[in-house]
Amino acid sequence: MTGLNSRTLLAAVTCGALAAPAASLLARHGRSYAGAFYVTSAASSLVDQGLAAPAPTGTEAAAFQQVPNPGVRVLPNVARATNLPWVDSNGWRFQRGIQKANYAKLPAGSASLAAAEAFTFNVDAILNPDPGDVEELGKMLRFLKTLDRPRLPLLANIGVVDDHSPPMSEVLNMLTRRNLLYRVVSAPDRTLDLTVQLGTQDFPTEAAANPSEFAARVRSKLGDDKRLVRLYGTSTVIAHLTGDGKHARLYLLGYGGNRRLQSAGQQAVRVRVLGRYQPARLAAYGASQGATLTDLRNPGNTTEFWVPDFNICAIVDLDALK
């Protein structure tokens, strides 16, 4: 099951499975369920600790596609006297099909986010961190290792027919940033609530010239009541949802640096998930000791809660209410 119609959705939420260390490390540490982490010589100490494998070379390395550094840029807003955060995420590239990513030169402060991003979207990743980030990257890899579990199917109720055009790249990017959960399809899928296809009456090709307005059009066509995940109080956190009808896992990736731009203390992000769930586990990187989900409610066929302040990655496991 790679997509669900909202009328039949019974999902729950949790975060990632550990990124597996490579074949030799798998033999020593057992099976892992997510993509593999590889590091360059700059982080060879993490290989010694069993947290990653040496970066491949030659033809094996050529199979990894170079991707940009994840993060957030603050851009001037000409319409207002404020600056606007712009999220640089590779989530849409991974949704489109990249399964092996090469973070070729990660600037200082970005290595842990790159690891969390690759983990969330279940891709193999070569990480080339700044030497000053190796210790922090090790902490992140240990954190992700505690979340090792079989991957649940992707939950999405929007199908995007990918014509591989440049406008489509920007459309996918913006849908990811706006947390409109989709999967890429080769043809319309009637099991999904909405199909996005350029050149149709609902989504004319010229509308994609403004990706932000195009995403607003998609949101309007879907309707907020059918959105699988909604986040309140942030513009730099990206959600990724998996589930099988009984259990679900929600990944929350904060792109605003080590501490999110919208940090709001103990009640950092309000989450609304379509479906009725009860929390099973919270794993929030950098959260205060004993931090928990708060103000859990089940209005109608939804689940709402506050996620405490966290650094980079938070993972929520939910069980469906019977």
Q: Quick one: how far is CA 148 from the chain centroid?
A: 16
Tens digits of residue pLDDT in 168-217: 999 999 999 999 999 999 999 999 999 999 999 999 999 999 999 999 99
pTM beyond 0.75, yes or no? yes
Q: DSSP class of residue 48?
A: H
CA distance 68 to 74: 17
DSSP H helical ranges for the chain: 23-29, 44-48, 58-62, 91-96, 111-120, 134-145, 166-177, 211-222
**More confidently predicted of 268 and 199:** 199
Residue 43, exposed/middle/buried by CB under 10 A (0-12, 13-18, 19+)?
buried
Report the percent of the chain where pLDDT is more than 90.
78
Q: Which pLDDT score, from 0 to 100, does residue 11 have? A: 31
Q: Which pLDDT score, from 0 to 100, does residue 34 have? A: 66
At the second CATH level, the architecture of 229-320 is Sandwich (2.60)
- The answer to whether residue 87 scores a pLDDT higher than 80 is yes
Tens digits of residue pLDDT in 2-26: 444 443 333 333 333 333 333 433 3
Mean pLDDT of 227-249: 96
Mean pLDDT of 63-81: 80
Q: Which pLDDT score, from 0 to 100, does residue 6 have? A: 40
C-alpha dist (Å) from residue 170 to 220, 234, 277: 18, 21, 33
Q: Which pLDDT score, from 0 to 100, does residue 322 have? A: 85
Mention every residue, 6+ apart, whose C-beta is less than 8 A from residue 57.
Answer: none
Tens digits of residue pLDDT in 117-142: 999 999 999 999 999 999 999 999 99
Cβ contact 176:214 at 8 Å? no
Residue bearing tokens 């099991």: 191
Q: Which pLDDT score, from 0 to 100, does residue 84 have? A: 66
φ, ψ of residue 228 to 5 degrees: the values are -70, -35
CA distance 155 to 164: 22
Mean pLDDT of 245-249: 97
Instruction: Answer positive or negative: Cα dihedral of 150, 95, 262, 132.
Output: positive
Q: Which pLDDT score, from 0 to 100, does residue 83 have? A: 57
> Which amino acid belongs to residue 239?
A
With cut-offs at 50, 70 and 90, classify the pLDDT of residue 257: low
Q: DSSP class of residue 287?
A: P
CA distance 240 to 74: 23
